[in-house]
Structures are given as C-alpha cells and as structure tokens.
Structure 1
Amino acid sequence: MKQNKYDDANFFKQYSQMQRSVEGLKGAGEWHVLRTMLPDFKGKRVLDLGCGFGWHCRYAIEQGAKSVIGVDISEKMLAEARKHAPDTTVEYICSAVEDIDFSADSFDIVISSLAFHYIESFDDICSKIKACLVNGGDFVFSIEHPIFTSYGTQDWYYDESGNRLHWPVDNYFMEGLRKTNFLGEEVTKYHKTVTTYVNGLIKAGFQITGLIEPEVDPRFLEMNEEMKNELRRPMFLIISAKNSK
C-alpha cells in the first residue's frame, strides 16, 4: 500500500503548523532557488505531482498558466488546497503519484516539490511523465538531497550537551527503503543516489538543463540563528529538464 500519512488527523495537524504550510512558498527555504528554475507558465498546461496544499498550482495560475492539474494522495491536503483556491482553473485529483495515467501530450510543464523521495522507482515516474509531456516540455522537481536521506534517521549527531556535531552519511550506495521520524511519526522514504536521479532522466530521454543544491534563503538566516546549521549539509536537490522525443 502506498504511504499516506497526511490523512492521519494528528500528523496533518502538525504538518499544518509548519512554516511552509502556514506561509506557503515564502515559508519554504528552497523556494528562492526553485522559482528561478521554473519556466514561463503563460498559456501553458501544467501538472503538479504531490501538490499538497496547492501552493505551486496557484503560483502557476498567477503566472498565467492556461490550466493546472494537481495530484496528491491525501484528501486532507487537497481539501486545504481547494479551500484556498475554490474558483481557479486548478483541478485537483486524489491519487498516488505513481498511479498517474494521462494521455500523450497532455501537458507543457510538469513540476513536483519534495515528493519523489516517497516513491520507490524514479525510472517509472520519469517514463510516465515523458509519456504525457509534449516534446520540448519542461520538467522541474525538487527532492530531499541524497546526502540528507542516506542514513535514515535524518538527524544530527549530538554531543553530551546537545550540540550538533555533524550530519551522518552512511550506506549512501545502498538505495531503497528508509524509516525516519517526521513530526513524531514513522515515515517511509526511498533513498536514491544523485546518479540514479540524473541517469534516470537521461535514460528516459530528458535533457538536463539545471541542477542546484540550494542553500537556505539568506533572509531565514537573518531571522533564525539556528538556520545557519542548514549551511553545513545540503537538504534539497533541484533539477530541471527538457523532454526530447
């Protein structure tokens, strides 16, 4: 069964209180970089995989997109998305990302934010995206960085006084399932190497146009001294590509 923690009432409540949930895109530490890698949305048909609260869907509409479809496995997430954008041209579909099945040339742009580390096969999702994306269409996605996901605990090593010593990286080349704690719950993720993401795109026929390991937004560093720890290891990886049939 595909994982859906977000429809658990307690988990969803905690997630809803996170900065990126409350403030939207401006509360996401990687948005200042992701935004620069997105293509021109004007007049385009857009698919957002793992759309969550629909922040990126609404951004695409604001930038002139012709239509947007947001896909997410969580009914609670989609209910929140619809609440904030009840009268736009965004269509929300409740489905696992892995189960998408759109016809050829359905979209000009496919985006995804922090969803693909929850799915087992990146090759499979690349094939499905390529099948529904027009020739020359754009594919842009962000993921948790493989250095962030490799060890599994996704937490620092601390000394006896609770000071952060270093970020553990282990079993990097052993791809597959990882159990981690997120918002007090056990969550399943799938670790993949940078090689797997890059070669998955190349094998599927995409031309990579950008790859960035974003540093945290500088304004976050000014607001919170603790955020300087985010400069000690990469947390996100963002890749942009073109479909070449």
Structure 2
Amino acid sequence: MVRQNVYDDEGFFTGYQQLRATRSGLNEALEQPALRALLPDVVGARVVDLGCGDGSLARALTEAGAASVLGVDPSARMLALARARTEDPRVRYEQLFAEDLRLPDASVDLVVSSLALHYIQDLAGLLVRIASWLRPGGSLVASMEHPVVTAAPGRSSEDGWVVADYAEEGVRHTRWYTDDVIKFHRTTGTVVGALLQAGLVLTALDEPAPTPAAVKERVDLQVHRDRPALLLVRAERP
C-alpha cells in the first residue's frame, strides 16, 4: 500500500504553514465554510476527525458542543501544533494513518475529514470501516480535491484548466512545496459508489465555488469558478 507523510517534510511543512498563516489558500476562502455548512448538530456528539492537522476543526467542534473529539493524523509536526493549541480535555490526538485506526462498532456519532481522502489509496476499505464505527443515524462529512483536479494535477494552459486521463484511476505524482507529492485520483462516480457500497446513504454532495464578490477580492479564485476545486459529501449510516 502506498502511503506518504508529506506534512513532516520540512520544506512542505514550512510552505503549508505560510499558506495557512496568510489565508491565501482554499481552506478559509472555500473549503471550511462549505464543510461546516454540511455538519449536523454536534451537541453531545462523539466525533472522529481524520486528517486533523493542527486541530482547528477539532477545536471548533468542541466549541460547538461535541462531547469528545479524537483527532487522527500521521504528521508529528501537525500534531505538535494541535497539542500546543488545544486546551480542551475533550479533544485528544493520535498519530496514525487513517487506514490504521480501529474503533468499536457503533461508537461514533460523526466522522469528519477535511482535505485528506485524496491521500488514501484504499478509500473503499476505509469507508467500510467508517460505516462500522458510526452509530445508526451517524454521519460522515468529508471534503477532498475534486476529481477534475486530481485527474491531471497542475495542468493548465492559456485557455484554462486541462482535464486529462479522467477515467484512468490511481496514483498521481505532483509537486506542491516539495517534489513527488502522492495523491490518488478516482472519479466522482467511484467516490459515490464506494459510499453506497459501504452501506451509507448519500445525503448531500457539493462542489462549492467562490462568489463573484470573492473573485473581485482575490482574482486567483477565478479558476475555481471555471472548474470545481473541491468535492464534499455527507452520508449517513441508516
């Protein structure tokens, strides 16, 4: 199985932290508002955050009333930030790849994942385990890079974004702050099919785009109106 802990690469980590500090990426502008809009009421909920990073979402969930949040991430650097920034005892962190997490059946009310699932090779297997962790009526809310982006990462031209090799699913190698960042491309149909095969019921699917007003403030966001950058899903265990 192909795995990569790129967030512990010093060059990548430095570049990524600068991106977040300057709020110049998609997290604050597009992804987090769209993800949080899909969240159910979390008051009293037991939550798992897969790919928790610096713990910002975990902290927001406890502030919203979650009973407990388990943040899971393979990066020691990101978890060091998370622990330093978290004081609430309802939040705890474990250094693990999402694929290695094991939890009791029907022990969780909500699983969230922010921009992490495109790093998972065996997404179908992970979704089966997530479905088993959820109590009946529990939810998965996740964001990932949109398949039109992962299909041909970084390909653009003067005429716009180039979508190529969309039907060829599998590993993709790209450069983002460091060489050979590994992601996994799968079609939208494959993502939805894997959710259904895991026994989950799809209740929302979103491809958020910046508003024209947002583009006026940040011209770099225009490309995300030309083609979707993100795919978000909400699914429930019956």
Fold similarity call, TM over 0.5: yes
Which residue of structure 2 lines up, in the alignment, with residue 174 of structure 1?
A: 168
Deviates more, 1:136-145 or 1:80-89: 80-89
Which residue of structure 2 lines up, in the alignment, with residue 161 of structure 1?
A: none
Which whole-Å CA distance do the structure 2 matches of 1:88 and 1:82 have between them?
11
Are positions 1:84 and 2:85 aligned together? yes
Tell me, yes or no, if the aligned pair for 1:25 and 1:55 is still in contact at 8 Å.
Answer: no
Which residue of structure 2 lines up, in the alignment, with residue 242 of structure 1?
A: 236
Are positions 1:50 and 2:51 aligned together? yes
Which whole-Å CA distance do the structure 1 matches of 2:103 and 2:134 have between them?
9
Tell me, yes or no, if the aligned pair for 1:113 and 1:143 is still in contact at 8 Å.
Answer: yes
Which whole-Å CA distance do the structure 1 matches of 2:26 and 2:80 have between them?
18
Quick one: structure 1 residues 125 and 85, their matched pair in 2 at CA, closer, same or farther if it must change by over 3 Å? same
Q: Deviations over 1:28-71 (max 9, x none)?
A: 42222222111101000000001111111111101000000000
Structure 1 residues 1-245: aligned runs within 5 Å: 2-19=3-20, 23=23, 27-151=28-152, 153-157=153-157, 164-216=158-210, 220-244=214-238
Q: Deviations over 1:126-166 (max 9, x none)?
A: 11101111111011100100001101x32412xxxxxx321
Alpha-carbon distance, 1:10 to partner: 1.8
Tell me, yes or no, if the aligned pair for 1:130 and 1:204 is still in contact at 8 Å.
Answer: yes
Which whole-Å CA distance do the structure 1 matches of 2:176 and 2:148 have between them?
17
> What SS does the aligned partner of 1:17 have?
helix
Paired amino acid for 1:189 = K
Query: Which ranges of structure 1 fall in alignment gaps of 5 or more residues?
Result: 158-163
The normalised TM-score by structure 1 is 0.91
> What SS does the aligned partner of 2:175 have?
strand
Quick one: structure 1 residues 99 and 26, their matched pair in 2 at CA, closer, same or farther if it must change by over 3 Å? closer
Tell me, yes or no, if the aligned pair for 2:7 and 2:13 is still in contact at 8 Å.
Answer: yes
Equivalenced residue count is 236
Which whole-Å CA distance do the structure 2 matches of 1:84 and 1:218 have between them?
34
Alpha-carbon distance, 1:86 to partner: 3.0
Deviates more, 1:28-37 or 1:72-81: 28-37
Tell me, yes or no, if the aligned pair for 1:143 and 1:238 is still in contact at 8 Å.
Answer: yes
Paired amino acid for 2:173 = K
Tell me, yes or no, if the aligned pair for 1:51 and 1:57 is still in contact at 8 Å.
Answer: yes
The runs of at least 4 consecutive aligned structure 1 residues that moved more than 6 Å come to none
Paired amino acid for 2:57 = H
The normalised TM-score by structure 2 is 0.93
Which whole-Å CA distance do the structure 1 matches of 2:51 and 2:193 have between them?
22
Tell me, yes or no, if the aligned pair for 2:11 and 2:177 is still in contact at 8 Å.
Answer: no
Tell me, yes or no, if the aligned pair for 2:8 and 2:77 is still in contact at 8 Å.
Answer: yes
Quick one: structure 1 residues 35 and 219, their matched pair in 2 at CA, closer, same or farther if it must change by over 3 Å? farther
Q: Deviations over 1:95-124 (max 9, x none)?
A: 001111111122100000111111111110
Quick one: structure 1 residues 67 and 6, their matched pair in 2 at CA, closer, same or farther if it must change by over 3 Å? same
